[in-house]
Amino acid sequence: MLTAAQEMERTLKIAQKAHLEKIGEIDSDIDPNRTGLIGPDESPIVSTLGQLSSKRTSLTPDFAALVTRWLYESGVQAGDKVAIIATGSFPGFYLAGMCGIRALGAKPIVQLSLASSEWGMTNPQFTILDLEDAICQEIPDWERAKLVTFGGSSDRGRNLSKEGITILTETMDKYGLTPLVEKTFRKQIQQRIKAIQKEGPIKAVILVGGNIAALGNTRNKEIGAGLLTKKVELPENEPSMLKEFLQQNVPVIYLHYAEYLAKKWGIPFDTTPLPPAGSCKKIYHWNTSTN
């Protein structure tokens, strides 16, 4: 767990360096910890509203330790495959998920949606794909996304402006990627699941942010956050990646609602400086309940 949290600290430093190189000075008014991972609340690639304090809290390195704990409790071992389905909305949780998978020696199968809610990876010059690339430059075995989508409405960017779609398309082109855009929402979900299952047996799934294909049209906000099981009740007639994997008895870790998770696991909420790796003791206390 500590290994995961320490690697997340390393990725935060990489992100800060990349922001300074690509954009310039970091706005300390919205990003007092100078992570470079808090974007503006207005831009062509903003998909929905967001909570600034939650975005800042999600950057706490010990979230990577918590993900590692949940993966271990889900039976994930070295060599297992874990799908991570992330949006641009919570870069901190994306890093936590990736570092948790890597700490156990598992293999991440990555899907990214580029649009972001407010205060996430909303700067057109520094999207979640740009963050991924910056990390790959310094950590060569960091796994790149195998599938990308616009995100936003219907997971196909339907609530984005033409400018926003153009920006995201050009970003994907830069990295040799083509967005998945199916004719129907149901087909969009099916193709995303098919792409993951094509990689072989999946031991666990990590969902980051509120992507509609991942969670369904209602976003299933009543399910909470953290480690989920098949016991979660979901709408019968509503397709989602979450529903499909839970029905297959694949454990799902849902990373959202930073305030809820922080309160439950003793993580300081929206603090400066960020708590260093290993400081949130409740996470590391193995007798603490995860449910």
Query: What's the mean pLDDT in 268-277?
Result: 97
What stretches of 23-90 show up as alpha helix (H) in DSSP?
52-57, 62-73
- Whether the CB-CB separation of 130 and 171 falls below 8 Å is answered with yes
Domain membership flag for residue 291: no
Tell me the per-residue pLDDT of 243-256, one tens digit each, with 9 for 90 and over: 889 889 999 999 99
Domain membership flag for residue 131: yes
Domain membership flag for residue 191: yes
- Whether the CB-CB separation of 184 and 156 falls below 8 Å is answered with no
Tell me the per-residue pLDDT of 76-123, one tens digit each, with 9 for 90 and over: 999 999 999 999 999 999 999 999 999 999 999 999 999 999 999 999
Side-chain half-sphere of 212: how many Cα atoms within 13 Å? 22
Task: State how far the Cα of 236 lies from the Cα of 204, in Å rounded to an integer.
Answer: 22
Query: What's the mean pLDDT in 213-229?
Result: 74
- Whether the CB-CB separation of 273 and 221 falls below 8 Å is answered with no
Domain membership flag for residue 229: yes
With 60 as the cut, is the pLDDT of residue 6 above it? yes
Residue 230, domain extent: 2-284
Domain membership flag for residue 272: yes
With 50 as the cut, is the pLDDT of residue 288 above it? no
The number of domains in the chain is 1
Domain membership flag for residue 289: no
What pTM was estimated for this model as a whole? 0.95
Query: What's the mean pLDDT in 59-81?
Result: 97
Question: How high is the pLDDT of residue 221?
Answer: 55
Domain membership flag for residue 290: no
Tell me the per-residue pLDDT of 170-200, one tens digit each, with 9 for 90 and over: 999 999 999 999 999 999 999 999 999 999 9
With 80 as the cut, is the pLDDT of residue 140 above it? yes
Task: State how far the Cα of 108 lies from the Cα of 203, in Å rounded to an integer.
Answer: 10
Give the whole-number percent of the chain exceeding pLDDT 70: 95
Task: State how far the Cα of 291 lies from the Cα of 226, in Å rounded to an integer.
Answer: 8
CA proximity to 36, closest of 7, 12, 57: 12
Domain membership flag for residue 278: yes
